[in-house]
Amino acid sequence: MGQMTRFLAVFMFFPFLAACDDPEAKGPSSDEITTAVIERFRQDPYAKVGHVENVTKTNSISQDDDEVIAMVRYDLVFDRTLAEFADDVSEKGKAAGDLDQVGDTVSDAIDLVKTKMLALKEGDFKAGDRRVIENEIRLVKSEKGWIYRGRP
């Protein structure tokens, strides 16, 4: 009877050992990585004309227990054309009444120029087009989980 108890105890202990060896258990979850990619994308000029879908982690490098460089792949889906974005910036500029609105318009105009330069470099796009993007992001562990902290 003692051997059976030891066998069951060891058998029940295996899931705990497996969890300790699981590299995913130590690093950011897929939801945390997706959130980090979306947060990083908000700083991208393409954020004014598209959104992110289908985020997957392709690899990662642990810098230490509290920092991870994650290699990610995602779809950039264009919601509107560059011309539509330019029209919006133009209309916003015409309607700007106070200094804050003028500042927002100037910021959008700068993003428009950056987006146009990227389109010249990477090819034009239209609404509905998709591009597969591969990138690296840095995540650090906080009290509330893994958070985005810039490119490596």
- Supply 59's token pair: 């690899």
Q: 40-56 pLDDT, tens per residue?
A: 999 888 898 999 999 99
Q: Is residue 31 pLDDT above 70, yes or no?
A: yes
Q: 98-146 pLDDT, tens per residue?
A: 766 667 778 888 888 888 888 888 888 899 999 999 999 999 999 989 9
- The answer to whether 78 and 50 are in contact (CB under 8 A) is yes
Strand partners, 67: 64, 140
Distance of CA 94 to the CA centre of its chain: 33
- The answer to whether 44 and 101 are in contact (CB under 8 A) is no
Which of 68, 74, 47, 72 minimizes the C-alpha distance to 152? 68
Q: Do the strands 50-64 and 145-148 form a parallel or antiparallel pair, or are they unpaired?
A: unpaired
> What was the pLDDT predicted at 92?
76
Q: What is the pTM of this model?
A: 0.71
Run of H or E including 76: strand 67-78
- Supply 53's token pair: 């879908």
Instruction: Enumerate the domain spans of the chain.
Output: 28-148
Instruction: From residue 9, give the alpha-carbon distance in Å to each of 1, 13, 51.
Output: 12, 6, 50
Using 50, 70 and 90 to split pLDDT, how confident is the model at 72?
very high
Q: Is residue 10 pLDDT above 50, yes or no?
A: no
| Percent of the residues in the chain that have a pLDDT greater than 90, as a whole number | 41
